[in-house]
Each structure stands twice: as C-alpha cells, then as structure tokens.
C-alpha cells in the first residue's frame, strides 16, 4: 500500500511539473493562426458590413486583428466580434474614442487593435511587455507600434528563431506569415488568454 501511494504521489508530481512546463498551453491558438498562412494572402483594411455574430471578412484578406479573431474562433469557438461588442455596449466610455463614434459598431470595433488591447486588459490578460524572449509563450498576443504610429497585433508562435526568439504569426501587409518579428517594433502590450 505504501509503495502504491508513493507511485501515485510521484505520478501526480510529474503531471503537475509537465503542466507547469507547458505554461498556458495555448498552442491550439497558434495552430489555428498557422492554418491561415497561404489562405489569407493580402492585407485589406476596408470597412465592411459583417454578419453578427460570427461575422468575418473574406478569409483571403484582412488585417492583423483578423488573424487573432479567426484563430480564437477556430481554436476555441471564441467570437471576439460578439464579446468586444457586448463589452463595449456596457462600457463604451472605457474604450478608446479614436474614431469619433457615438456607440459601438459590431462591424469594425473588434478589428481595431486599441479596442482589443482594452478588451484583453479588462479580461485580466495583461502581462508586462519585455524584451526577454523567455517571457513569451505560444499563443500570447503582442501589440506593437509600426512606424511609431500604427498599432499592430501578433500571435507568438511555438517555433523559434536560431537565437531563441519566438516567431510570430501576423498579417502586416502581405497576408498571414510566420516571421521573426517579435522585437522588430516598439512593444505596446503583451496578453495571455486564460482558459
């Protein structure tokens, strides 16, 4: 009996250690983002009328936020269009007022990086944005400023560059790509989805 109890304790300890090593285990988000490579082949920021809920622009195009929206929808059945819209309806004043809108717009709000940053922060997903590669886990979302003014969002990959820097999956202008761009632009946010 004592021997069986010892084996059980060791097995539980091993499972806990593996879970800690795996971090948040958001690799399903990474896999869903990676499946967009070769499908989303262009960048198109045009405003479009979308169905609600579950609306999307054609998968062949989109912007950086669409990579996140599709990855969460495909991997977790999470509809950021609906979630952001509902949160904005109840707390519109807490969201950025950069676009002169008087009320939420379910066609575009979830496709704007500052709104996603606000939503992620309100969900308690914020982490410190650092220059340490080890602080980033697969499936994390990272926001940056491109050219010092354009907000951009990326998903941290489970693959790494030769120097150990995690790759990112994003659409920065030529469709969804997996690249070594995590520290290319000034960091403005780091977020990790809680299961």
pTM above 0.85, yes or no: yes
> Is the separation of the CB atoms in 120 and 126 below 8 Å?
yes
- The structure tokens listed for 43 are 């960048």
Residue-level pLDDT at 194? 87
Nearest to 186 by CA among 137, 146, 126: 146
Residue-level pLDDT at 3? 56
Distance CA 130, CA 187 (A): 8
Residue-level pLDDT at 8? 45
Compute CA distances 98 → 101, 111, 170, whole Å: 8, 13, 23
41-72 tens-digit pLDDT:
999 999 999 999 999 999 999 999 999 999 99
| For the chain, percent of residues with pLDDT exceeding 70 | 88
11-42 tens-digit pLDDT:
444 443 444 344 568 999 999 999 999 999 99
Nearest to 120 by CA among 101, 96, 97: 96
The residue with greater pLDDT, 172 or 16, is 172
176-191 tens-digit pLDDT:
999 999 999 999 999 9
Mean of all residue pLDDT scores within the chain? 91
179 bridge partner residues: 168
104-138 tens-digit pLDDT:
999 999 999 999 999 999 999 999 999 999 999 99
């Amino acid at each position: 009996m004592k021997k069986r109890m010892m084996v059980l304790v060791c097995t539980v300890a091993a499972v806990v250690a593996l879970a800690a090593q795996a971090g948040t285990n958001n690799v399903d988000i990474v896999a869903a983002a990676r499946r967009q490579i070769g499908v989303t082949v262009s960048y198109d920021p045009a405003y479009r009328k979308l169905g609600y809920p579950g609306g999307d622009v054609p998968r062949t195009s989109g912007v950086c936020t669409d990579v996140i929206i599709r990855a969460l929808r495909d991997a977790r059945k999470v509809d950021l269009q609906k979630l952001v819209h509902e949160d904005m309806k109840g707390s519109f004043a807490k969201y950025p007022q950069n676009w002169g809108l008087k009320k939420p717009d379910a066609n575009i709000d979830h496709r704007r990086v500052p709104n996603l940053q606000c939503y992620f922060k309100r969900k308690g997903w914020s982490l410190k944005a650092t220059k340490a590669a080890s602080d980033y886990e697969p499936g994390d979302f990272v926001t940056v400023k491109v050219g010092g003014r354009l907000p951009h969002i990326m998903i941290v990959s489970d693959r790494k560059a030769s120097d150990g820097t995690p790759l990112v999956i994003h659409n920065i202008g030529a469709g969804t790509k997996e690249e070594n761009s995590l520290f290319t632009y000034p960091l403005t946010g780091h977020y990790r989805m809680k299961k």
